[in-house]
Structure 1
């Protein structure tokens, strides 16, 4: 139980760490200093972990991991979409 709480807390903190970047992009409408390749690699790694998290949930464990990993996947996806939207400006 304690490890699930730790996973959930840590995962939420890591996922919410992308919010300042997203806010900064909207404020400045600039992504010139961001690396699309880096965020794509993060998305690929998170995608692999997502498959693993789903397999854990199917086995009856890992729901906290799946939830926080999905949140991270969404946050990184938002950053990538913003990079693609604002990079040509």
Structure 2
């Protein structure tokens, strides 16, 4: 198994983990149990990982962090829009 396949698999699994939360938040419009500070910090960290991936040219880091950032920003958007 190549290092990039391992990275793509890890990125896929950690990214897909956000899908159920995005769907649940979208359907229920409830964000009371989601920490705004945690998602602000998380989105910042994922953005930095994305920049790092671009700088070293790692396709697995780039792809997984783009997708994770989209999902995390979706949850952050819902958190701000559907304040409880």
Q: Same fold (TM over 0.5)?
A: yes
Is 1:33 paired with 2:33?
yes
Q: Deviations over 1:40-68 (max 9, x none)?
A: 100111111111111112xxxx1121111
Q: Deviations over 1:5-31 (max 9, x none)?
A: 011011011011111111111222110
Aligned partner of 1:81 in structure 2 is 77
Structure 1: 5+ residue runs without aligned partners? none
Say which SS state the counterpart of residue 33 (structure 1) adopts: coil
Matches within 5 A, 1:17-32: 17-32=17-32
Is 1:43 paired with 2:46?
no
Number of paired residues? 84
For normalisation by structure 1, the TM-score amounts to 0.87
For normalisation by structure 2, the TM-score amounts to 0.91
Larger radius of gyration: 1
Task: State the 4+ residue runs in structure 1 displaced beyond 2 angstroms.
Answer: none
